[in-house]
Amino acid sequence: MKKIDGLIAAAFAAYNPDGSVNLALIPAIVDQLLEQGMKGVFVCGTNGEGPSLSVEERMQIAEAYMKAAEGRLLVFIHVGHSAINEARRLAAHAQQIGADYISAVSAFYFKPSSVQVLVESMAEIASAAPNTPFYYYHIPHVTGLQIDMLEFLSLAEEAIPNFAGVKYTASTIHEYQSCLHYKDGKFDILFGYDELLLPALAVGAKGAIGSTYNYAGKLYNQVIAHVAENKWEEAEKLHFEAVRMVGLLVKYGPIPTQRALMKVAGLDLGEPRLPLRSLSAESSSKLDQDLEKLQFMQLVARL
């Protein structure tokens, strides 16, 4: 299987005023991703509020992205669910509609008791879509699963015939590098921490999946271009602008802040579902002031 080279945007959920899923906005989201230079889209993951959506809604969103992408973007469908049978339904549906890849996070309420059990769980899900490449979604700060990823790779390659790689959303760059080198780079290890993209590139990353790529993709693509040209000083300076912006996500809350940034970028995604909330009027005003100081969105617009 060919490895992914470039950036995949983890799409945000969009809602109508009545709280229903806004499928009509998805073509505009896809067009904006293409304009940002994205290679693909990751659907119904953390930023897409997958855990807050019904299975039927997730299927509708997946279908809408497949239709809107029309082969212009790679489409990852996140099929993880706390109930494995529901995850299998989502996986089978993703294969039916022609998704390029599927991915699943571990169950995070009743957690696997070992790496072996985690692999067995992922194998059950992946087997429902045997002809579609499967990526494990490693995000320990959400799932609470601190596991040895090299052990996971060793077990997964035997248990999951369509295992293609990992969406590695963790700050442990040394382990990420080890995964890249596992069996001479046998698997595709996509990096998932946007603010650490430059260090990941330094140890060999080629592909990445992230949320801030939705509205700042041009900046990150320029960082990648600088690295390719061995212009590390320029890459570091530009990457630091992204690091400063990510500081605002920490300050005000990752998903609410980024939904506000998407509105600044021209796409109003509506109100998120509980337990998420949009920024308060006070926080929105302070965010606007901080953004003005950073001039981040203006920088992205000039690229």
Rounded (10°) CA dihedral 214, 189, 56, 9:
10
**Is the Cβ–Cβ distance between 190 and 209 less than 8 Å?**
yes
Evaluated on CA atoms 26, 249, 297, 271, the torsion sign reads positive
**Amino acid, single-letter form, for residue 80:** G
3-state secondary structure of 203: coil
d(CA 50, CA 45): 5
Backbone region of residue 98 per phi and psi (left: phi > 0; alpha: psi in -120 to 50; beta: other values)? left
Q: What share of the chain is helix, strand, coil (3-state, %, to 5)?
A: 50, 15, 35
**Is the Cβ–Cβ distance between 227 and 220 less than 8 Å?**
no
Chain-centroid distance, C-alpha 231: 27
Q: Using the structure block, give the residue that is written with the tokens 């337990």.
A: 275
Q: What are phi and psi of 59, to 5 degrees?
A: -65, -40
* Known active-site residue 186: no
The neighbour count for residue 48, using CB atoms within 10 Å, is 23
**Annotated binding residue at 147?**
no
* Known active-site residue 137: yes
Q: Using the structure block, give the residue that is written with the tokens 């995949």.
A: 8
Closest CA to 142 of 10, 290, 260, 244: 10
Choose, from 137, 176, 220, 252, the residue flagged as catalytic.
137
**Element spanning 41, H or E:** strand 40-43
d(CA 64, CA 26): 7
161 prior amide bond cis, ω within 30: no
Choose, from 39, 101, 167, 215, the residue flagged as catalytic.
167
* Residue list for the binding site: 209
Q: Which residues define the annotated binding site for pyruvate?
A: 209
Residues marked active site are found at: 137, 167
